[in-house]
Chain A
Amino acid sequence: MSRRSAFVITCLAFGYAFLYVPIASMVVYSFNASQLVTVWDHAHSPTLKWFGALLHDQEILGAAWISLKVAVANATGSVILGTLAGYGLARFPRFRGRFAFTAMTTAPLVMPEVITGLSLLLLFVTLEQTIGWPAGRGIGTMIIGHMTFSMAYVTVVVQSRLATFDRSVEEAAMDLGARPVKVFFVITLPIIFPAVLAGWLLAFTLSWDDLVISSFTAGPGSNTLPMVVFSMVRLGVNPEINALATLTITAVTILAVGATWLTARARRHAASAAA
């Protein structure tokens, strides 16, 4: 038994090193003064100059602003569609077209992005030709494209939350005369709210990071942050990107640790209230 534990622990150590060494290297090199990124400049490092350069790079800032608008709109739209879909799948075990619906909410999770992106673009072009909408491509078409795959993730999150939902509270509200819509907004939604919020953040992140679907559905002048980063990275390593990576990782870590801490605290409160 102990031999296997040693094996498993070795695998865990190796696996986590594999996951974190590249991330750590980016963070460390973002404080390197040398333009060559991976050659450490002992005389002038650590430095914050790449963070300064990043925050004065108009192209990056403009792209980040577009990405932010797309990500917020996408997350909000995806949460509405995904919560409806997740609720429908969790609560209605049988309805006509359920299998097709399940397939449609699952497929975007695994579909190669080049295929989704190409098909969305061809749809937009065809629609523009036949009914004149959408007139050209830009932020609007990108939001539609992002929502189509993001809502699938929200659906999974909401559906799995509802699978472990204690329905007696809803039934009690029904017995007291609340109509189904009221029960949903007053009882169900507040209880599943953490899952909905997690879905919103997930949809935001998916959109913020997306390169391929954005590239197909973007129009002239609506380059997102990943599109700008990709064209910079294609030309080689760039210290500004390391600074951007450090900022991203810091934000994600604060959010994730904060969310974990909040849920743990809520659970402790619930436990002490029950006792």
Chain B
Amino acid sequence: MRRLLRRLEGTRVSSRGLVVALPYLWLIAFFVAPFLIVLKISFSHAALAIPPYKPLVVWTSRSVLEIRLDLRNYLAMFAHRLYGDAFLNSLKVAFLSTVFSLAIGYPMAYGIARAGARARNILLLLVVLPFWTSQLLRIYAWVGLFKANGLINETLISLGVIHQPLTLLFTPFAMYVGIVYSYLPYVILPLYANLEKLDWQLVEAAQDLGCRPWQAFYKVTLPLSRNGIVAASMLVFIPATGEFVIPTLLGGPNSLMMGRILWDEFFSNRDWPVASAIAIVMLLVLVPCMMAYLRIQSRGSDS
């Protein structure tokens, strides 16, 4: 019997390895390794060649292996105000979008979590539906709403609120609306998952002990949903920092966002090394955020 058990243990260890090996290797090959290549190319310089950058490792004539690390791309980030401004602006836009999304999403998640079982399923389905519909098409919908002769301007003019159409499209305002709109389901779902598990008896106890509803919310509900808030924030903040589609379609050609600058450097200027350096600088800021998110997620699955 004992030998049999030991054999079972043995097979389990090897099958365990096999189960994880395939996705593990895939992610190392196609997710981790590429970042090392981005890092490498960020130390190169654009050239008229295929691929369009200078090699880092060169065999010189006397069998000397030369490794050239070109720091120009990184120095350019500090020298040109465009990059610094775009970088700070991206962080600002991502941060404010996160705050606005939480301000709209938290009360919604709270309302869904406290609704009756039947209503809850319908309300959740209504949050998930836009999430399944193409983000590109949903952003396009806002282009139609924000246009000079779009629905918003037409409505306001026919109501007599304004006489001249407002400039809405290609403004920071339009970009914020687009980001909050796109990422709202990403905020509501983790907050809901968190609030749904919350022990409401604690809130009732606080109220029995004399807390007013707002006090009970502030002192009990809010601290208990901290993990949900952090997870939801990261799901908006990290991707919004590098957002490309929304700034392009709603923010207009002059919106200073890192995702747009990276795209233009790559596709319009064909400057792969500068695009790589931008990606590396963004990662330096975003990786700590990802670690925070990961810590919350793994703590959630352990408990």
Contacts and interface: CB of A to CB of B under 8 A. Distances in A.
B294 A180 contact: no
Contacts of B35: 119
Contacts, number: 250
A103 B22 contact: no
B104 interface: yes
Interface residues of A, number: 96
A23 B125 contact: no
A248 B133 contact: yes
Interface stretch (B59-67, B78-86, B137-145): B137-145
A87 interface: yes
Majority secondary structure, B binding face: helix
Contacts of B184: 15, 18-19
B123 A12 contact: yes
Contacts of B74: none
Contacts of A211: 136, 245
A103 B31 CA distance: 11
Contact of A15 (B107, B114, B133): B107
B244 A212 contact: yes
Interface in A187-229: 205, 208-209, 211-212, 215-216, 226, 229
A257 B34 CA distance: 39
Interface of B: 11-12, 15-17, 19-20, 22-24, 26-28, 30-35, 37-38, 41, 51, 104-105, 107-108, 110-112, 114, 121, 123, 125-130, 132-138, 140-145, 147, 149-151, 154, 181, 184, 213-214, 217, 234-235, 238-239, 241-245, 248-249, 259, 262-263, 266-267, 272, 275-276, 279, 282-283, 286, 290-291, 293-294, 297-298, 301
Contacts of B141: 22-23, 25-26, 245
A81 B138 CA distance: 30
Interface stretch (A49-57, A106-114, A165-173): A106-114
A114 B41 contact: no
Given A113-B244, A151-B23, A205-B132, A118 B107 contact: no
Contact of A111 (B17, B121, B238): B238
A123 B33 contact: yes
Leading 4 A-B pairs by shortest Cβ distance: A112-B242, A119-B34, A11-B107, A22-B141
A81 B22 contact: yes
Contacts of A144: 30
A234 B234 CA distance: 29
A11 B110 CA distance: 10
Given A7-B107, A88-B19, A104 B137 contact: no
B80 to A, nearest CB: 19
Contacts of A257: 125
Contacts of A241: 137, 140
A151 B23 CA distance: 9
